[in-house]
Copies of this chain bind each other. A is one copy, B any other.
């Protein structure tokens, strides 16, 4: 999505440790109308997939996930990063390694919110090594539901997570794929 690439070039900042700072419009301060525009793109890409539920993980995927789920007219479900007091009953879970924070965490979803009938579109803001996405796919698999694909705002193509998942047959659609980035510039996959 050309408009997203232009926005990344204009407002993004490359920080140490392969971090792309896009907090001004994408994952801390969220440009709502631009997010809805990106969600429309996802809706059009997966319009034939009979999506019944959108799944994301807290926290920065929630706004985009909400926008996508509203366009499909389906619920948004988000995995929590730790089991808290208000997730009771049986949970589906996956251990995920966080590239950003350098640690592992448990992603959990109440089992009652996913059934074998569900056709799930997984949504997230970033895809780098693909760990979060793999965890969410495991959760959907454990529920006996189907993954129709994954929709990502920004993929760090140079970290290879997206391509590994594509080779395994997962449909991964990223609105912008970064091939390389450094303080001197960002290049996108064409």
CA distance A73 to B27 in the complex (A): 17
Q: Mark A20-31, 1 if CB is under 8 A from B, else 0.
A: 010111011111
Cβ of A124 to closest chain B Cβ, rounded Å:
13
Contact of A63 among B24, B76, B80, B100 (CB under 8 A): B76
Choose from B29, B59, B85, B100 the contact partner of A59 (Cβ within 8 Å). B59
- Kindly state the separation between the CA atoms of A15 and B88 in the bound complex, as whole angstroms: 9
Q: How far is the CB of A68 from chain B (nearest CB, A)?
A: 9
SS class, residues of chain A in contact with chain B: mixed
Cβ contacts under 8 Å, A84 to chain B: 100-101
Question: CB of A178 within 8 A of chain B?
Answer: no
Given the contacts A58-B58, A58-B59, A59-B58, A32 and B76 also touching, CB distance less than 8 Å: yes
Would you list 25 pairs from A and B whose C-beta atoms are within 8 A, ordered by A residue?
A21-B88, A23-B87, A27-B86, A28-B78, A28-B86, A28-B110, A28-B113, A30-B66, A30-B69, A30-B75, A30-B77, A32-B73, A32-B74, A58-B59, A58-B62, A59-B59, A59-B62, A59-B80, A62-B66, A63-B63, A66-B67, A84-B100, A84-B101, A85-B100, A85-B101
A interface residues with partner B (beta carbon < 8 Å): 15, 17, 19, 21, 23-25, 27-33, 35-36, 58-59, 62-63, 65-67, 69-70, 73-78, 80, 84-88, 100-101, 109-110, 112-113
